[in-house]
Amino acid sequence: DALNRHMKTHSDKDHECSRCHKTFNRKDALNRYVRMHEQRRAQREYTCNICGEVFRNIFPLQAHQHDVHQVGRGKRTKLPTRRAKRQRTDEPEPTRSSTRVNEGASTSAVVNEGPQPFPQDPLLPPSNLPSQLHREHWRAIRTRQSRGNRVQDWYNYRLSSLNMGQLVNDIDRIFEDQSTVFKLNLSFGFVLFNNETEQMQYHHPSANNNRVFDSPFQINNRDDLVQVRTALENIDIHEWANKQRPNSKWIVMDITNVTFYVTKLRDHPIGRSVRLPKYVLENPAIVSLDCDKNTGLPYEDKLCFFRCLALHRGCHSKNLERDTQHFYEQYDDSDDFDGVTLEELPELEKLFELNIYVYRLTELHDEDDATTSFVAQLIQRSHRRYANSMYLNLYDVENSESLKPTRANLRGDSSSHFPGGVYKVPQSIFDLLADEGIEIPEDLKYFPYRATFDFECYFKRETEHPRNTAKLTWEAEHIPLSVSVCSNVPGYDQPKCFVSSGSTSEMIQQFVEYLVKISQESYVLLLDLFADVFRQIEERVNQASENEEVDEPNSEEQLAECPMGLDNEEREVSDGEVVGDEVNEDEAEKTHPLEKLVEKLELYLMELPVIGFISGKYDINAAKNPFFSYLVKHEQVKFVIKRNNNHMCLKTQHLKFLDITNYLAPGFSYEQFLKAYECSQTKGYFPYEWVDSLGKLNNPTLPPRETFHSNLSGTDITEEQYEYCERVWNEQNMKTFRDFLVWYNNLDVVPFLEAVQKMSNFWQERNIDMFKDGVSVPGLTMKYLFSNIPDTYFSLFSDKDKDMYYTMKDNNVGGPSIIFNRYHEEGKTSIRKEEMRAKGKESKPCKNVVGYDANALYLWAIMQNMPTGQYTRRLEEDGFKKRWSGKMAIECLEWKANQRRIQIRHEYNNTEKRIGTRRLPVDGFHAESQTVFQFHGSLIVYFILLGCYWHGHNCQLNEGKEVNEKRDKPMKELLEETKRNSAYITKQGFNLVECWECEWRDMKKRNSALQRFIATHLRRPLDKLKTMTKQSIINAVKNDKLFGCVECDIHVPESLREYFKEMCPIFKNTEIRREDIGEFMKSYAEENNIMPRPRRSLIGSMIGKKIMLATPLLKWYLEHGLEVTHVYQIVEYTPKPCFKPFGDAVSDARRAGDADPSKAIIADTMKLVGN
């Protein structure tokens, strides 16, 4: 079996059907498929009675007769429907004048004769620009446009001043240039100045990262421009630019240019037949309706929208046509149907009662590095509020695909989702296997193999470089010279260097092919190590298949219904949605979850980490064009994580390229990295600037010492270092400089591999697989942080409480930066001079200026009490009645866990568990020890707390009830369903512990130990209070009985304002005007045209209106005399210093490093983790 799985890796699907583009491993399989095409084609053909051309569908025949022969399309006999097709023109109507706006039409479309002349700045910068930085970025600043594009145009204007009138005129001009409805957004370019280093930075406009408005404005007619003008007048551009600063050391020096982004909303017909790109066809999140699943033939009609609708309504992809035709006939009865347009979607929403959102994947090109990426862009948003939503994607303008209706597929545009439940770190493949009863030995949970690589480049110098300008000179181009690889995979553990022979592409090909060989070898070795795991999985799947009954699949109601839903609370399920994990029912009937995990495990084993040093910024960029070209052609590139010009992670089928500098503190050099981990070898020396061509590799001697000088760094090597190079040359019997290059390049990978192993061991001691669990230190820290708090969980807001998320977000404030005195100097200034003079006292001279900085302040803060557990919300309008987000089932499951001294996973501390091919949801789940688990089958215990009302129990709680009104089913039928589900669980080989709601209620009344447990472990101090008042809330905060947040009005009383005047204690974000900042600063702002409109800033204040405060801060306020006048709501959590062990570990490691230099590397790493 292991050999068969391995052989699959060598088999590529390189035989493609020319009609439907399906791929096959073997030629004979393709031939059989093509013959099937021919048979099906012969069965259904439509022939033109004029020219005899044959078509496979009636729609292309009608289009052919209409377009080629200018005759009416074939008539179809059909009963009249309730809707008459409205007329639509796809071309703008002719204009009498050069430009006009069709403001009265229902479509509100903008029409004109075409692009008009626009101003352009010259290509070369003028001499009167303010600085050299402005001249260097003249290409981005100068006035220019990109017009006539299919989807998006942009208009860039250089700004001489922030004149809103100029911006309004620019928008008017842009409006007159459009021929369709469009969406408008803008961004500014600006220059920052660093007060400390006096460095300047230019920040480019960006439609993605630095757009002014979170959502673009849709412009249908000239009246819509009013909202844009109003929004611009209410924005302080200087304040907007201030928010883009890296930190407070930078100030905004100049606003240089503005770019308007115009996204066109044409009257798109949806559903034309085109060949979909590979990344769409292979995307598991996209249902690609490119061909008929029964015939394998591409769709050639224009009913794609209605197929999407049929699929969305629950039809299987192989049985779409009948429902597709039904939905189409509900909408249209004409014979010249040309596809649904974007303009018609609101009408379709109303007809079919659903919200329709339209996205498109947009191709983005990087001018500098010729790379391409894809971003999802919102084309049309639904403005209706139906319970059902459908998401469509546009491809090549005319083709739409149906996306599974999940928010996870909405990439590019931000979308807030409020799932409720708790936050959990994403599970690894081993977590998922353990979830299904397959435990992996601890030593196999850490990927043992890896490879390191390093590029060397030579400097190709040109006296007349084609990119030289009058202000910019290109010194040299970095051309890949060689690349070395080393790994710890047996048989490939010696370094190998590939030296360029003049073709970088050939060298890259050899490099990648060698890495793939290493990956395949590691995969074979790992398959042997995991043979017992695969055997366990196979036995479990076979056992499950034998025990599986031919039952009806879970209905949507069964899947949505949560067994933990007690207290007769109705679970709200939106039409068309399945609560919890999405389930493909046809697949669920056939596929055991372990079979899917086998594929994930194989992909995990197949993927070899390949690590470089500064490779994301330098090595990959130096060889980017041939490198990516080869990967795209010969490797399946899964994804790239890129931050600016830094490739943090590049993942293919066999390889995962990572940069070790993303795991280190900033500024670490390669030499420091090796020294820190006490590697046996160190970095060599190389005359980089001497090697300016491949011919230097044939030099028969080591070049002189002066050639090792670096003009870039201004450094030389010492005489001893040069003698070391000479000794290496002689000892290794080098013949040419090529041999020296190989030696030097290999020194960049062999000790590197040793250091990486030691660093990986550090993380492995903390149960982290360094190169599999994250691509940088923040990711590893996140997993480390949350993996060491097993009894703690953090609640997520549900949709009904989503307003709390926005309230808390709006009340988040940063750290204040306060200047108490603008100028103090020893012996020259006085302390509180004006204040002392007013009191008739003599002020004291300043003798010393002291600055304080908090050491590890954030680390200390994270060690304090955190808001854990389920939250309880109390609102003023409800009389502060308790609104708990949990369920009764938590008590039962926690009690069972306490009695058995185990931890039970359930919906409110993890995620809900589903079992078997039916994916049946259960309340609680626990797995026993690994040893028993591995060798004696599954000893997994499932706990079911059965709500008597929901499950039809014949008890006193349901006395006299024959029918469950909520589920619209007889009680007896519900009880039978429950018994069948219980039998299904036990037949899968699981132990089952059941508890009925009525039994649990009775136990709570009679069992004193249970009562004590609930009171001490599950109840909070305020749980007994049904209602509260403002004063009782304030008292609870003072007495530490309430931990969480309080939304209230608070102020400093008049008697304390003198005490707090130097530092107002209430920090908040609010609008401030020139009148609020004092006479001196007001004059300065007026002279320099700063803050012409109110600016939103963080301030210290004496009053807070409807401000959300954490209870520890509120308690401090109350203890210092501040007064609360109104309480709007409270949110209660369970206080727990869950991250204190993490903070202690970081602090202890840093202290140990100070005391013992041999532990310095651990101390530095833990310091980085803590930061």
Query: How many residues would you count in the chain?
Result: 1171
Verify that 482 and 622 share a domain, yes or no.
Answer: yes
Whole-angstrom distance, CA of residue 537 vs CA of residue 547: 15
Verify that 478 and 333 share a domain, yes or no.
Answer: no
Verify that 236 and 282 share a domain, yes or no.
Answer: no
413: phi then psi, degrees, rounded to nearest 5: -90, 140
The pair of three-digit structure tokens given for residue 146, joined into one six-digit string: 């990109």
Verify that 534 and 644 share a domain, yes or no.
Answer: yes
Phi-psi category of 703—alpha, beta or left, where left has phi over 0 and alpha has psi -120 to 50? Answer: beta
479: phi then psi, degrees, rounded to nearest 5: -110, 130
Question: Is residue 104 predicted with pLDDT exceeding 50?
Answer: no
Name the helix (H) or strand (E) containing 125.
none
Supply the pLDDT for residue 274: 58
**CATH code of the domain containing 925:** 3.40.960
Q: How far is CA 1066 from CA 238, 1100, 1105, in A?
A: 25, 5, 10
Domain that holds residue 634: 447-465+474-546+604-697+737-760
Question: Is residue 923 predicted with pLDDT exceeding 90?
Answer: no
Identify residue 482 by its one-letter amino acid code. S
577-615 in b/e form (b: 16+ CB < 10 A) is bebbeebebeebeeebbbeebbeebbebbbbbbbbbbbb
pLDDT class for 123, splitting at 50, 70, 90?
A: confident
**Which of 960, 945, 953, 786 is CA-nearest to residue 431?**
786
Supply the pLDDT for residue 556: 41
Q: Tell me if 339 is assigned to some domain.
A: yes
Question: In whole numbers, what is the pLDDT of the chain averaged over residues?
Answer: 78
As a three-state string, the secondary structure of 488-557 is CCCCCCCCEEEECCCCHHHHHHHHHHHHHHHHHHHHHHHHHHCHHHHHHHHHHHHHHHHHCCCCCCCCHH
The share of the chain scoring above pLDDT 70, in percent, equals: 77
The structure tokens 């060798």 sit at: 935
Verify that 931 and 988 share a domain, yes or no.
Answer: yes
Verify that 646 and 505 share a domain, yes or no.
Answer: yes
Whole-angstrom distance, CA of residue 827 vs CA of residue 844: 10
265: phi then psi, degrees, rounded to nearest 5: -115, 85
Q: Under a CB-based contact definition with an 8 Å cutoff, are residues 771 and 609 in contact?
A: yes
Q: Which residues contact 1077 (CB under 8 A, 6 or more apart)?
A: 1085, 1091
Q: How far is CA 890 from CA 257, 568, 662, 834, in A?
A: 58, 16, 41, 63
Cα angle, residue 77 at apex, residues 76 and 80 outer, rounded to 5°: 115
Q: Under a CB-based contact definition with an 8 Å cutoff, are residues 299 and 324 in contact?
A: no
Residues 724-750: what's their mean pLDDT?
93
**Which of 492, 552, 542 is CA-nearest to residue 516?**
492
Q: Domain count for the chain, please give it.
A: 4
Q: Under a CB-based contact definition with an 8 Å cutoff, are residues 216 and 184 in contact?
A: yes
Residues 504-527: what's their mean pLDDT?
94
| Least confident stretch, 103-112, 837-846, 871-880 | 103-112
Tell me the pairing of strands 477-487 and 496-499.
antiparallel
Q: Under a CB-based contact definition with an 8 Å cutoff, are residues 20 and 296 in contact?
A: yes
Question: Is residue 872 predicted with pLDDT exceeding 50?
Answer: yes
Q: Tell me if 166 is assigned to some domain.
A: yes
Verify that 386 and 312 share a domain, yes or no.
Answer: yes
**CATH code of the domain containing 524:** 3.30.420
Verify that 512 and 627 share a domain, yes or no.
Answer: yes
Tell me the pairing of strands 372-380 and 340-341.
unpaired
The pair of three-digit structure tokens given for residue 566, joined into one six-digit string: 């007690």
Q: Tell me if 68 is assigned to some domain.
A: no
* Residue where a domain stops, chosen among 236, 269, 302: 269
Supply the pLDDT for residue 873: 93
pLDDT digits (tens, 9 = 90+) for 759-780: 999 999 999 999 999 999 999 9
Q: Tell me if 47 is assigned to some domain.
A: no
| Least confident stretch, 582-591, 622-631, 1070-1079 | 582-591
Question: Is residue 607 predicted with pLDDT exceeding 90?
Answer: yes
pLDDT digits (tens, 9 = 90+) for 811-820: 988 777 777 7
Q: Tell me if 7 is assigned to some domain.
A: no
Q: Tell me if 155 is assigned to some domain.
A: yes
pLDDT class for 238, splitting at 50, 70, 90?
A: confident
Q: Tell me if 840 is assigned to some domain.
A: no
Verify that 263 and 303 share a domain, yes or no.
Answer: no
In angstroms and rounded to an integer, the radius of gyration of the C-alpha atoms of the chain is: 35
**Which of 279, 298, 275, 258 is CA-nearest to residue 163?**
258
pLDDT digits (tens, 9 = 90+) for 539-578: 888 776 666 554 444 544 444 344 343 333 333 333 333 3
Name the helix (H) or strand (E) containing 1004.
helix 997-1006
Supply the pLDDT for residue 932: 21
Question: Is residue 2 predicted with pLDDT exceeding 70?
Answer: no
Q: Tell me if 1060 is assigned to some domain.
A: no
Residues 252-273: what's their mean pLDDT?
77
Selected residue with higher pLDDT from 976 and 8: 976
Verify that 654 and 677 share a domain, yes or no.
Answer: yes
Supply the pLDDT for residue 457: 93
Verify that 749 and 658 share a domain, yes or no.
Answer: yes
pLDDT digits (tens, 9 = 90+) for 1085-1135: 888 888 888 888 888 899 999 999 999 999 999 999 999 999 999 999 999
Residues 256-271: what's their mean pLDDT?
76
| Least confident stretch, 276-285, 730-739, 892-901, 1049-1058 | 276-285
Verify that 380 and 457 share a domain, yes or no.
Answer: no
